Amino acid sequence: MSSKTVVIVEDEADTAEMLAEMMRIIGYEVYQSSGGLRAIDLITQKKPTTILLDQMLPDLSGLEVLHSIRLDARLRQIPVIIVTAKSLPSDKQRGLQAGAASYLVKPVAFDDLRTAIEQVTVIK
């Protein structure tokens, strides 16, 4: 089993699979969730080394998921990279203020994702 794990929280199946494939290429074990409530359960269970989080989800917003993660002492140190279509500077500012380690706007290039992962993730 890989020591590098990621939970991808993305409700668009094609985007989720593209991100998952990118993460597998750089050596991550991948878990996926299409909704915020399920994501919180999955993150609590798996305690991944990194989280890729969409902002727009069917049940909770990505920021609500991020807030929940940051309130949980067992999870708050996990780096979260927001991957979203929301591209306004105010959106990015809100995401980073909420505790995201990085903020990427879709579509995400492989090199940009890999760079963001390398900058925020500490593998133990």
Predicted local distance difference test score (pLDDT) of residue 3: 87
Residue 60 domain flag: yes
7 CB contacts (<8 Å, ≥6 apart)?
31, 32, 33, 39, 42, 43, 46, 48, 50, 51, 52
**Residues in the chain where the model's pLDDT stays below 50:** 1, 124
- Give domain status of residue 114, yes or no: yes
CATH of the domain at 27: 3.40.50.2300
Closest CA to 113 of 14, 9, 12, 20: 20
Return the structure tokens found at 64.
């609500």
Note the pLDDT of residue 124.
46
Position of tokens 């985007």?
A: 15
Give me the pLDDT at residue 121, please: 79
> In this structure, is residue 124 part of a structural domain?
no
What integer pLDDT is reported at residue 10 of this predicted model? 97
Number of domains present in the structure of the chain:
1
Q: Give me 34's structure tokens.
A: 């299409």
Which residue segment(s) compose the domain that 75 sits in? 5-119
